[in-house]
Structure 1
Amino acid sequence: MAAQNSAGIQTLLDAEREASKIVQKAREFRTKRVREARDEAKNEIDAYRKSKEEEFKKFESEHTQGNKQAEDEADKEADDKIKEIQEAGKKSQTGVIVELLKAVFEVKPVAPSAA
């Protein structure tokens, strides 16, 4: 009977070791599958991010071009106005100097009024 119990115990221990090996393999498989799933998700996210960045760059380039044209036109307009102001200044420069000198040299004193 003791030999039979010993053999039964040994069979149970063997079965437990075998079950432990199966559980360990399942854990390894699960861990491997989780890593693979994480890597797949990361790759999908990277691909999605890349496509959205390209889409944004395309959108930005299409809309920036219109802004660039408007900016160039505004710069040209500003340059034209500056030239116009400079020309007007040159035309009336001598007259302004004469008036300033006249105001400085022809002093007309005025008595302060009693308030």
Structure 2
Amino acid sequence: MASQTSGIQALLAAEKRAAEKVSDARKRKAKRLKQAKEEAQDEIEKYRKERERQFREFEAKHMGSREGVQAKIEQDTKRRIDEMNRAIVTQKEGVIQEVLNLVYDIRPEIHKNYRQ
């Protein structure tokens, strides 16, 4: 009976050591997964920053800076407003005369829907 008890004790001790090894392996695996995830996040962040930098360089090269684009738009708008003002000054009298001629030139006509 004593040999059975010592055999059972040895088996329980071996089972306990095996459970501890499995537990340690799981902890190491979880730690490695966490470390790999952190490394992947760092790589993703580095890649994102690099792509943003490349995009800003591309934008500056092909479109100019935002201030430059804004200045160009303002300059174009001012030019168009000046052109419109010049057109108003040069064509104002002609338009007024044409409107007055249309108002003064009254031709009484019978409406096409009028029935006698």
Q: Fold conserved (TM > 0.5)?
A: yes
Structure 1, unpaired ranges of 5+: none
| Residue identity matched to 1:84 | R
Correspondence list, 1:44-83, <5 A: 44-65=43-64, 68=69, 71=73, 74-83=76-85
Q: CA deviation at 1:81?
A: 1.8
Which residue of structure 2 lines up, in the alignment, with residue 12 of structure 1? 11
- The CA distance in 2 between the partners of 1:6 and 1:111, in whole Å, is 128
Q: State the Cα RMSD in Å.
A: 2.9
Which residue of structure 2 lines up, in the alignment, with residue 30 of structure 1? 29
Give aligned-pair identity as a percent: 34
| Cα distance change of structure 1 residues 33 and 101 upon mapping to structure 2, 3 Å threshold | closer
TM-score for both structures, normalised by structure 1:
0.71
Relative contact order (C-alpha < 8 Å, sep 6+): which is higher? 2
| Cα distance change of structure 1 residues 14 and 64 upon mapping to structure 2, 3 Å threshold | same
Q: CA deviation at 1:13?
A: 0.8
| Cα distance change of structure 1 residues 100 and 24 upon mapping to structure 2, 3 Å threshold | closer
Structure 2, unpaired ranges of 5+: 111-116
| Cα distance change of structure 1 residues 99 and 33 upon mapping to structure 2, 3 Å threshold | closer
Count of aligned residue pairs for this structure pair: 107
| Residue identity matched to 2:91 | G
| Cα distance change of structure 1 residues 98 and 9 upon mapping to structure 2, 3 Å threshold | closer
- The CA distance in 1 between the partners of 2:7 and 2:13, in whole Å, is 10
Which residue of structure 1 lines up, in the alignment, with residue 86 of structure 2? 84
Q: CA deviation at 1:43?
A: 1.1
TM-score for both structures, normalised by structure 2:
0.71
- The CA distance in 1 between the partners of 2:109 and 2:6, in whole Å, is 135
- The CA distance in 1 between the partners of 2:41 and 2:84, in whole Å, is 56
